[in-house]
Amino acid sequence: MAPPRSFLWSRRIFLTLLTGFVLVPVYVMVSSSLKPLADVTGKFRWLPTELTVRPYIDIWSTVPLGRYFVNSLIVAGAATVCSVVIAVFSAYAVSRYTFRGKRVFTVTVLSTQMFPGILFLLPLFLIYVNIGNATGIALFGSRGGLILTYLTFSLPFSIWMLIGYFDSVPRDLDEAAMVDGCGPLGALFRVVVPAAVPGIVAVAVYAFMTAWGEVLFASVMTNDTTRTLAVGLQGYSTLNDVYWNQIMAASLVVSVPVVAGFLLLQRYLVAGLTAGAVK
Amino acid sequence: MTATAPAAEAAVRKSSPGAARGPRRRPGRIRRIGLPYLLLLPALLLELLVHLVPMVIGIVMSFKELTQFYIRDWGTAPWAALDNYKVSVDFDAPVGEALLHSFLVTIAFTLLSVGLCWLIGTAAAICLQDTFRGRGLLRALFLVPYALPVYTAVITWVFMFQHDNGLVNHVLHDQLGLTDKPSFWLIGDNSFVALLTVSVWKGWPFAFLIVMAGLQNIPRELYEAAALDGAGMLQQIRRITLPSLRPVNQVLVLVLFLWTFNDFNTPYVLFGKTAPEAADLISVHIYQASFVTWNFGTGSAMSVLLLLFLLVVTGAYLVLTSRGRRAPHA
């Protein structure tokens, strides 16, 4: 059955407008990153007067972008790995066992989702400083402190999504595995985890993106050597000049890995959301 | 052994042929009871360190007169009893008045942003439900704003909103002649529009993603049956698509609401530490009260008030939607 003509036309118009809305900033980012400085400080132009890759060379020396990149990669990568592993264990426990305090746990996990990040900023700062004073472990200003912070922000969402996902893996499967001689952990790793790969990938993508894009904690809890991209990009605005072409070039360099990864894995994300969050 | 074990075993045996191969290994009682807690332990410890303990400290701080002088050793700060709360809710005095204003701005902003994100996301998902040429490309394209790191996306918008060299003024003033002179977008009343635009641009793909996932669960036969009965496109959307999406939408709207309401990154990158009055979202407002005017006690009291509000709203929402779910239709 073909949809009516009027629907086809309104769909065409709507999708065109929406594509424009989505694409214009992306176009501005790309085109401005290829313009000479004079071109971005003057009146806006849709087309560059001359194309140059100079901004892509200069971004690495105006600010230590390479170092920020490595910092972000370490922080986001570690937070993702830890968050996925911990979420898998917790979600398995919640999905497969009944135990005292289960409801309290799930409600707590769910409700930490609704807390504004600002609520934790100062107390965490104080805790990290206190731990540092008491034990000599420098959490404040270190990558470790930031990893710890980030992984707990993605943890509630990850657990929540994985519970839904694990619930959709038939219980018979891991019970059969246990009958065949697997322990509970064997059943988890041989049956449940492989069956839940889309959900786990979705959770990992989400955790990585959250950590890669976080601004608040990164700006308060890092120092010169541990600064991440989120904060580092501010370095392109100096007292005299704002290097818009370099900002756009750096933004693109920073965005391409996550956007590419996301688009490659979005199939899994949709599948994960269907089974998890959407339930 | 519990009394239900044989029944469970029978059920397993019935459903899986492998069960006949050997006797079921039963873990010891202690292991069975202890295991779930063991599995939860890492998550519990981390939640405790990064969420629960800070929350308790935050609540304690809200009862203290905590200024920059006491921050090194915050335990020694004098008790303020309810003073911080009184200041925060005294809507005739400057601090309370500003907080109330910021709260109302945040509510208006959140409702508009969530509404628009949902509307655009749902419309786009419905438009991409059928297969047609270029559908995959559009789908990928629409996810780009969501995939971009917040700060790079917002910085690009900052550039576009620049007074002298921005695209927005160039298009509205120079090219279309809609305004008498170039407007300011990041200060003054326009800043609300600017913030809303960026928030919707960044947020609608999430709604799109979730609704798209929800649409996949609607059986095609429903549409075919409806078409046979003579239901038009719009009627099918109203009678089949939207009702089937209801459970999905309930989760989606709640998540969008909480994320938008608590959003800090977007206004912070767009405006900096102090937002213009018209776009003074509550997160930035509390940040400013704490870290710019150095009154951590008042900032904490505001955070606790905000938290109470979110608890009430979320609780009410969950009760309402679960009641809806129990209704005969849903």
- pLDDT one-digit tens code per residue, A106-138: 888 877 877 788 888 888 888 888 888 888 777
B149 vs A114: CB contact, 8 Å cut-off? no
For B155, the closest of A4, A247, A271 (CB atoms) is A247
In the block, residue with structure tokens 């999430």: B206
pLDDT digits (tens, 9 = 90+) for A268-277: 877 776 665 5
Distance CA A249, CA A48 (A): 14
Average pLDDT, chain A: 87
* 8 A C-beta contact, residue A263 and residue A205: no
- Give chain A positions within 8 Å (CB) of B268: 215-216
A116 vs B306: CB contact, 8 Å cut-off? yes
H or E element that contains A51: none
Our CA-based measurement puts residue B7 at a distance from the nearest CA of chain A, in whole angstroms, of 13
Pairs from B183-189 (Cβ < 8 Å, separation ≥ 24): B185/B161, B186/B158, B186/B161, B186/B270, B186/B271, B186/B276, B187/B276, B188/B276, B188/B278, B189/B278
A178 vs B123: CB contact, 8 Å cut-off? no
Q: Is the pLDDT of residue B229 over 90?
A: no
Pairs from A239-244 (Cβ < 8 Å, separation ≥ 24): A241/A37, A241/A41, A242/A41, A243/A37, A243/A55, A243/A58, A243/A62, A244/A32, A244/A37, A244/A40, A244/A41, A244/B159, A244/B165
* 8 A C-beta contact, residue A166 and residue A192: yes
- Give chain B positions within 8 Å (CB) of A258: 147-149
For A25, the closest of B61, B160, B232 (CB atoms) is B160
pLDDT of residue B253: 92
Q: What angle do CA A25, A28, A31 make, to 5 degrees?
A: 150
* 8 A C-beta contact, residue A36 and residue A54: yes
What is the separation of C-alpha B104 from the centre of its chain, rounded to a whole number of angstroms?
Answer: 18
* 8 A C-beta contact, residue A123 and residue B55: yes
B143 vs A266: CB contact, 8 Å cut-off? yes
B151 vs A269: CB contact, 8 Å cut-off? no
Q: Is the pLDDT of residue B246 over 70?
A: yes
Length of chain A: 279
Per DSSP, the residues of B225-291 read HHHHTT--HHHHIIIIIHHHTHHHHHHHHHHHHHHHHH--HHHHHHH-SS--GGG--HHHHHHIIII
For B314, the closest of A114, A127, A263 (CB atoms) is A114
* 8 A C-beta contact, residue A258 and residue A272: no
- Give chain B positions within 8 Å (CB) of A273: 209-210, 213
Closest residue by Cα to residue B253 from B203, B215, B216, B303? B203
pLDDT digits (tens, 9 = 90+) for A168-212: 888 888 888 888 888 888 888 888 888 888 889 888 988 999 899
**Nearest C-alpha in A relative to B159:** A244
For A233, the closest of B33, B155, B248 (CB atoms) is B155
Q: Is the pLDDT of residue B330 over 60?
A: no
pLDDT of residue A196: 87
Distance CA A200, CA A121 (A): 28
Q: Say what the ipTM of the complex is.
A: 0.89
To test the contact with chain A by mutation, choose from B49, B51, B200 the residue with the greatest count of A C-beta atoms within 10 A, namely B51
Closest residue by Cα to residue A95 from A158, A171, A153, A177? A171
Q: Is the pLDDT of residue B328 over 60?
A: no
Closest residue by Cα to residue B55 from A132, A218, A127? A127
Q: Report which of residues A26 and A154 the model is more confident about.
A: A26
Nearest 5°: phi and psi at A237? -100, 115
Q: What is the CA radius of gyration of chain A?
A: 23
Per-residue confidence at B31, pLDDT binned at 50, 70, 90?
Answer: low
A258 vs B157: CB contact, 8 Å cut-off? no
User: For residue A264, how many other CB atoms are within 10 A of its CB?
Assistant: 11
Tell me the sheet residues that pair with B295: B67
Q: Report which of residues A21 and B323 the model is more confident about.
A: A21
pLDDT digits (tens, 9 = 90+) for A39-77: 888 888 899 888 999 999 999 998 999 999 999 999 999
